[in-house]
Structure formats: C-alpha cells, structure tokens
Structure 1
C-alpha cells in the first residue's frame, strides 16, 4: 500500500493489516491489484452533481402528482425530520452490511461498522473480495431502498415529510453512486476480477488476472 497521508485510526490500521494479508494471498494466486479511490474533497461536489438529476426527478414527480402544500408544515416536522434522518443514516449503513454480508463467504464476519469522528460520519465496510455486481449492488442498495423507495412512497401518499427524507437520502447516496460509477467505468480484458473495499480510503481495490 502507498504511504499514508494521514494518521490511521486503530480500526483502520487493523483493516489495513488484514487487507495486506488478503492482498498477499491474492497476488500469490496470480491476481494483480489496482486501487480505485476518490478524492474526498472533490467528491463532495461531484456527489451532488451526480445525484441532482434523481433529486430533480423526485421533485418533479411529487409536484406534478401532489403539488406542494406548505400550510401543513408544523413544529412537529422540525423535530421529526432530523430524528428520522439520524435513524435512516444508521439504517443506510445496515443495508450496506446486510447486502454485502449475504454475498460474502464469511457473511457478517467480514462486515465492519464504525464512525469517522472527525466528520461524525458512520460507515460500513466489507473486508472480503466480492464479484463486481455483488460489490456494486451492496454499494448502491441503501440509496435505492431509502432514496428511491421513499420517493415512491412520498408520491403515493402525498406526505411532504417523506418527500424531504427521500431527497436527503438521495443526496446522501452521492458518494456511494460515485463509487458505483467508478466501478461501472472500470473495464478490464482479464478473465477474472473481484472487488474489495479499500481498507481506509473512499473507494475500492480490484484484483484481476
């Protein structure tokens, strides 16, 4: 692995050491490794740009079907919205873990949850290499379920609170969709390839031969 540009946490160091063991085993089997990482500073802007069409579509559908009645907004919305967002952020990471865990050979023993305290961001990571479609599906699933599912529910029930939650969950899935986009754009002429979460950066590692 390249020299670290920042001090890694204890959990990140453990994942780094575990990953180096996996990497060594994969290379002994003839796989070559390629890092695909995302610059977190640029990702903040790119993520919103990527998700803007989906947010705009949700807005158009809700407005076209139901319109916006802002008279119903109360202090209950102000209290409920941040609490529900906090709950859904946790559920977001659980969906990552459940999806990847179903595909991993060691199942949930390969899943790790944590919080990046500097930005107070929860995360979920899978330490086991997966097939490309398995990894990308696990990456996209929370946004598909919580963002897309909430958008459909909002339009069908005419609930402004659910609409706001849907827009937030779509926007918050921008980083995941950047990774999905990176994965979809990564093409190889190799016969075999597997994808693994990067142990401490935003992105993934491809092993191919």
Structure 2
C-alpha cells in the first residue's frame, strides 16, 4: 500500500498520536489490528470506478429523454455547475460528520473537518472509536441521502 508522501499538519499528527495510543491499548487487551487504510489517490480511484457506471447511466437516461445540445454549456452554466459541486461536496462531508457525531461519546466535539490541499481532498474524521456498523453507516449515508437528488 502506498502512503501519501506529504507532511502531516499539527492536527493530523495529534490525531495520529491518539490513534496509535488507542491502538496500543487495544492490542494489550488482546485485540488485533487489521489495517484497511487507503491513501487519497486510492480513494479517488476507487470512487471514480464505483461512480462511473452510475454517472454513465444517468447521462444516458438524460440524453435519451432530453437530448443534449453543446450550446447549453454557457459560462453561467459551468460556473453554476462548479458551485453546485462545491456545495454538494461540503454537504457530503457534513453528512459524515452528523452521523458519526450522533454516535460518538463526545458527539460533535469528536468530529473534525479539513482539506488535504496537496490533493484537494476534503475530509471528515471522528477522533473516537466507533462500532463498525456506526462507522459504515456514516460512510454510506452521503450516498444514501444525496443519491436521491
């Protein structure tokens, strides 16, 4: 597995230290760690592979219902599309945070948002351990909510 080759921020280093301490405590209690971490490039590739068929299907349906005219691609349309994508990205991360914050013991005090500027990757993270189903629900919820728009 390739790791991101960038310097971690102070907040990221603090989260990493807390995670390593918690991980050590859990291993001393007999738990085993299974590393399922992927880097940002792997995440982007995986997301593209998962979303591409759905995007192609949506475009195909739209094209066959409405047709497609390149004249509609005005500057205003492109700007509106970029603004929409940015807003939906923020909403996507907020949905992760809301779900994980509901389950965390310190609730929203355990949720942190940020952007990895070197790869322009927004993220949401929870500083507390969650049960597997709680974590996966938080992972899936943006798709379940925004997928209906």
TM-score (norm 1): 0.60
Say if 1:86 and 1:41 are closer, same or farther in 2 by CA, change over 3 A.
closer
Please identify which structure carries the higher strand content.
1
RMSD: 2.5
- 1:39 is displaced (CA, Å) by 4.5
Partner in structure 1 of residue 148 of structure 2: 149
- Unmatched tracts of structure 2, length 5 or more: none
TM-score (norm 2): 0.80
The 8 Å contact of residues 40 and 121 in structure 2, kept in 1 or not, is answered as no
CA contact (8 A) 2:95 2:141 kept: yes
Query: Which residue is equivalent to 1:68?
Result: 67
Q: Report the Cα offset of residue 96 of structure 1.
A: 0.8
Equivalent residue, structure 2, for 1:137: 137
The alignment partner of 2:129 has SS state of coil
Please state how far the C-alpha of 1:141 moved relative to its aligned partner: 1.6
Secondary structure in structure 1 of the residue aligned to 2:97 = helix
The answer for the alignment partner of 2:45 in structure 1 is 45
CA contact (8 A) 2:40 2:119 kept: no
Gaps (5+ residues) in structure 1? 151-209
Counterpart-to-counterpart distance in 2, 1:120 and 1:5 = 14
Q: Kindly indicate whether structure 1 or structure 2 has the higher relative contact order, using CA contacts under 8 Å at least 6 residues apart.
A: 1
Equivalent residues in 2 for 1:48-197, closer than 5 Å: 48-64=48-64, 66-70=65-69, 72-146=72-146, 148-150=147-149
Aligned length: 146
Q: Is the 8 A contact 2:104 2:128 kept in 1?
A: yes
